[in-house]
Copies of this chain bind each other. A is one copy, B any other.
Amino acid sequence: MQSFTEENYLKIIYHLAESSSNVQTNAIAEQMQTKPASVTDMIKKLAEKGYVDYVKYQGVTLTEKGKNAAIDIVRKHRLWEVFLVDKLNFKWDEVHDVAEELEHIKSETLIERLDEFLGFPKSDPHGDPIPDKNGRFAKTHFTKLIDLKVGDGGTITGVSQHSSAFLKLLEKLGLTLGKQIKINDVTDFDGSVEILVADKQINISREVAKHILISSNGKN
């Protein structure tokens, strides 16, 4: 199998590949908090081991093997997050760093039993889908709150930002998973959005609205 570092690279490449098919060296470096030169080295190693396809100066794509390995890590990460929140009463903004460590524990039995213990959850505390043991999971197609029109409504079903600062803010604003919202107005000047949640009217910045994912349950 792979080292912690290799696993982290695979996971990051996997996430970056969701938005652009060819993942760039610099993008990986930024996510890994390391230097592009180091990324080039690691990419070569991952290519040798058959986890990525790599053409010099053209970025990388995951092979089937690499994708499976990445999904496996994502599965572990998300299951551990559920454990921390459901069983150990962590808040959704406290789980990321610990899950980041737990995801590297290498025991298939452990993760299958954990999955069962948690009742085979389908999504993690941030609304992200949890792959099953075969790596399969429903493609979720949420709408970003920022893309809704005035009058549209829906349910908060995910976030695309896992930083503690962001999640704490949502918590404070009452914008947690499952909450119903409705777009009341979009401010011309700064693009901030006026929304109705739990009968209260609040205003959120574009930046915040970008990272809230809605499953729109109908226009009006």
On A, residues with C-beta under 8 Å from B are 84, 87-90, 94, 97-98, 101-102, 105-107, 109-110, 113-114, 117
A212 CA to B87 CA, complexed, in Å: 34
A75 CA to B136 CA, complexed, in Å: 37
17 A-B pairs besides A98-B110, A101-B105, A102-B105 with CB distance below 8 A are A84-B110, A87-B117, A88-B110, A88-B113, A88-B114, A88-B117, A89-B113, A90-B109, A90-B113, A94-B109, A97-B107, A98-B105, A98-B107, A98-B109, A101-B106, A101-B107, A102-B102
Nearest to A102 among chain B residues (CB) is B105
Nearest to A106 among chain B residues (CB) is B101
Chain B residues positioned under 8 Å from A88 (CB to CB): 110, 113-114, 117
Q: How close is A93's CB to chain B, nearest CB, in angstroms?
A: 13
> Copies of this chain, how many?
2
Chain B residues positioned under 8 Å from A105 (CB to CB): 98, 101-102
Nearest to A116 among chain B residues (CB) is B88
Q: How close is A115's CB to chain B, nearest CB, in angstroms?
A: 10
Chain B residues positioned under 8 Å from A109 (CB to CB): 90, 94, 98
Nearest to A97 among chain B residues (CB) is B107
A88 CA to B114 CA, complexed, in Å: 7
A36 CA to B9 CA, complexed, in Å: 34
Nearest to A114 among chain B residues (CB) is B88
A98 CA to B109 CA, complexed, in Å: 10
Chain B residues positioned under 8 Å from A89 (CB to CB): 113
Nearest to A89 among chain B residues (CB) is B113
Chain B residues positioned under 8 Å from A90 (CB to CB): 109, 113
Chain B residues positioned under 8 Å from A113 (CB to CB): 88-90
Central interface residue in A110, A113, A117, by most chain B CB within 10 Å: A110
A114 CA to B105 CA, complexed, in Å: 17
Chain B residues positioned under 8 Å from A87 (CB to CB): 117
A126 CA to B88 CA, complexed, in Å: 24
Q: How close is A84's CB to chain B, nearest CB, in angstroms?
A: 8
